[in-house]
Structure 1
Amino acid sequence: MSRRGLLLGATALGGSALLSACGAEKAPLVGPPPVAPPNSPTPLTDAVTVQKMRSAARNREVNLVIIAPDRVSRVGMPVCVALHGRGADARTFLDLGVQDALNKAVAAGLPAFAVAAVDGDNYWVDVGKGDDPQRMLTAELPGWLAQRQLRPPTAMFGISMGGFGALRYAREHKDLKAVAVASAALFLSWPDAKSRKVFADREQWESHEPLLHTGELSASSTGVWCGNADPFARADRKLIKALDPVVAKMTPGEHNDDYWRGIMPEVLQFVGERIS
């Protein structure tokens, strides 16, 4: 893709998903409203690339976004996969301060690593619609990274719906060195999950719901961040209580880009200390 094409792609970046409150209100989550392009598009350099890839697992083209520190060769770099929230796509990570946080981590002495993001949906699981994001992550993404001389994924980071997907992925990939989730969209009950109009039935939801499978997760490699005013705060507190992760941060904040930008340096520091 040309540099002009990349810049145009960056200006099309949308916002994060809006969330309705959990608990008593059971309205489904919706995608983001139309937003104006940023006043100055995210700079795209050789360290940051956006490409379209054909995913057989998802039966569509997806964005593949790779963000690496500046002035460092990407060859042989370890990779943390970043999973976006509902209504967004992989390009959302271009606008959340990821590269700046990577640059500062490297400047502080951490080994360089890359963040790779792809498009997902349906809480990053197979819900019987001929669209299997987990299979894409397992069977296709490592090959796409190898084509770009990057290592297979050894860490996961997920925001909102992506937190659900990252924890689901971690259940099947015990060798991950770090799993970080921010504002993880987890569900305390079947009526709550059903209201999202994603899962076919209760059995399907229960097979995927991270809160029902915390015994399959590694506390020593997991970090959880969530704002106290986040509609998923209650569910994330339950995750923290059940898993006792090595990092558990419930701090002031809501379910929005400002919160995720604010914690990004800490999240990537957590990943960087473990990924190499």
Structure 2
Amino acid sequence: MVTITRRTFVSGTVGAAALATAGCRGSQAPGVEIRTGSLTSRHWAGRDITWRIARPSAGDPALRPIVIVLHGKGGNSSHAFRMLNLQDHVASTRLTVASVDGGDYYWHARRAGVDTGAMVLEDFLPLVQRETGYAGKIAFLGWSMGGYGSLLLASQLGPRRVAAVVAESAALWTTPGLSAPGAFDDAQDFEAHDVFAPRRTMVLRQLPVRLDCGRSDPFASADQALAKALPTATFTLDHGAHTADYWKSHGAVQLQWLRQQFDRH
């Protein structure tokens, strides 16, 4: 059972103080409705999990495709709006952007009994679909830990349910020994959730995948290795590092690219 609380704010009709109360302090974009609330999940027991949804306030919401946004380590659901300002591109792309708290669990099942990946697929995604009335294919977009998570969850759902995936500065490692402390429980956990595994790259090759990474990013070499494993992927290695400025500067073009992928379906 998922328990939901919800507050609704329409950009341009409420003040900044109200948005701050909701935990969403990014710029208010004209023509965008922002909702925030919380849910509970058996996959993250004892936690009120905050979520946020930004969608065009005009037109049929059921025709506005959903982009599930996964934050990086140390982030939360507000970062898609407060840090990356993705809401600024919602009206122009006619996309619904939805984000949710994921802690630092790297969006997969952990020994601690938490599985934020399952929470996204089994609890949050159905919630967003109920909120919006949209029932078609979805997309994923994430940065750092969330870039890895976006690739992982897209490989689980596959092309029947996923239209495209964007992974920005994805936190990737080619071997268990290179991974950061806390990203995986052990080598077996790494191997079970390795996006380089043939069974996962086989699925990802069937999807439009966009990989963006700065040349000064510590994950540049691993992201480039994944691009080689996915020869049909769109890969950009440009100026920048593992920073919020880099991620924010790419938000508009990434959502535009996702819009193009939806339009092809």
Within a 5 Å distance, the mapping from 1:95-244 to structure 2 comes to 95=82, 96-105=84-93, 112-120=94-102, 121-152=104-135, 154-174=138-158, 175=160, 176-193=162-179, 195-212=180-197, 213-218=200-205, 220-244=207-231
Higher relative contact order (CA 8 A, sep 6+): 1
Per the alignment, residue 26 of structure 1 pairs with none
Structure 1 contact 10–94 (Cα < 8 Å) conserved = no
- Deviation of residue 54 (structure 1)? 1.5
Distance 1:129 1:151 in 2: 33
Structure 2 contact 227–233 (Cα < 8 Å) conserved = no
1:97 partner letter: N
Per the alignment, residue 28 of structure 2 pairs with 43
* Secondary structure of 1:210's aligned partner: coil
Q: Which moved more, 1:216-225 or 1:126-135?
A: 216-225
Structure 1 contact 178–221 (Cα < 8 Å) conserved = yes
- Deviation of residue 242 (structure 1)? 1.1
Per-residue Cα deviation, 1:71-105 (whole angstroms, up to 9, x for no partner):
44434532010000000001001131212222333
Any gaps of 5 or more consecutive residues in structure 1? 14-40, 106-111
Per the alignment, residue 256 of structure 1 pairs with 243
- Deviation of residue 220 (structure 1)? 4.5
Per the alignment, residue 63 of structure 1 pairs with 50
- Deviation of residue 70 (structure 1)? 4.6
* TM-score of the pair, normalised by structure 1: 0.80
Distance 1:275 1:164 in 2: 22
- Deviation of residue 204 (structure 1)? 1.1
Per-residue Cα deviation, 1:119-178 (whole angstroms, up to 9, x for no partner):
113110001212111211221123212331332461111111011111111111112111
- Could you say if the C-alpha distance between residues 127 and 90 of structure 1 is closer, same or farther in structure 2, counting changes exceeding 3 Å? same
1:116 partner letter: A
- Deviation of residue 198 (structure 1)? 3.5
Report how many residues are paired.
241
Distance 1:73 1:225 in 2: 31
* TM-score of the pair, normalised by structure 2: 0.83
Q: Which moved more, 1:242-251 or 1:70-79?
A: 70-79
1:242 partner letter: A
1:7 aligns with 2:31: no
Structure 2 contact 32–87 (Cα < 8 Å) conserved = no
- Could you say if the C-alpha distance between residues 10 and 43 of structure 1 is closer, same or farther in structure 2, counting changes exceeding 3 Å? farther
* Secondary structure of 1:241's aligned partner: helix
Report sequence identity in percent.
27
Any gaps of 5 or more consecutive residues in structure 2? 1-6, 10-16
Q: Which moved more, 1:54-63 or 1:88-97?
A: 54-63
Q: Which moved more, 1:132-141 or 1:69-78?
A: 69-78
Structure 1 contact 78–113 (Cα < 8 Å) conserved = yes
1:138 partner letter: L
- Could you say if the C-alpha distance between residues 2 and 163 of structure 1 is closer, same or farther in structure 2, counting changes exceeding 3 Å? closer
- Deviation of residue 235 (structure 1)? 0.6
- Could you say if the C-alpha distance between residues 46 and 265 of structure 1 is closer, same or farther in structure 2, counting changes exceeding 3 Å? closer
Structure 1 contact 68–74 (Cα < 8 Å) conserved = yes
Structure 2 contact 227–235 (Cα < 8 Å) conserved = yes
